Amino acid sequence: MTNNEIYDVLTIDAVSRQLGITPRTLRYYEEVGLISPALRTNGGHRLYDQSTMDRIKQILRLKEYLGISLQEIQEVMDAEESLNEIRRTFQENIESADVQRVLVRQYIDVLHNLIEKMTTKIENVETMRNLYQEQVERSLHFMDELEKK
């Protein structure tokens, strides 16, 4: 961390206010390994840098948009870290087409795994939505029958 980055940190209270979550949520994310604080003050207070803030924002987006569990979020974030590592290794091996081919296959495998998990999640949500839609239709039919009485 450079001297400039040391000043670009926020306390747990500032992060929680900025992102609309509780300090306990941040501590829990740390406990389960989703994030780690950038630094700690001499008094042991957590300080978060921009990369950690970005990671927390990504966690919140995944929870909100996909409605997935923290375990599933960890899996997605691990996969994205794998993709980043594959990209770095790919760039480092620009002279070796054989290595790059292996890396591209690994990249595709990681993406297919993510897509498969999301497809399963989508199918489960669609199944649940269809069940509720059927209940609405049965209820409407019941209302029609009551109107005829």
Q: Where are the domains of the chain?
A: 1-67, 68-149
Dihedral angle over CA of 69, 64, 134, 137, nearest 10: 160
The residue ranking higher by pLDDT, 36 or 2, is 36
Q: How far is CA 146 from CA 36, 135, 137, 138, in A?
A: 59, 16, 14, 12
Q: What span, in angstroms and rounded, lies between the C-alpha atoms of 57 and 74?
A: 14
Give the Cα separation of 135 and 143 in Å (integer). 12
Q: Which two tokens stand for residue 78?
A: 């691990």
pTM exceeds 0.85, yes or no: no
pLDDT digits (tens, 9 = 90+) for 48-78: 999 899 999 999 998 888 778 899 999 999 9
With respect to CATH, is domain 1-67 assigned 1.10.1660.10? yes
Query: What angle, rounded to 10 degrees, do the helices at 70-92 and 50-61 form?
Result: 130
For 9-39, the pLDDT digits (tens) are 999 999 999 999 999 999 999 998 899 877 8
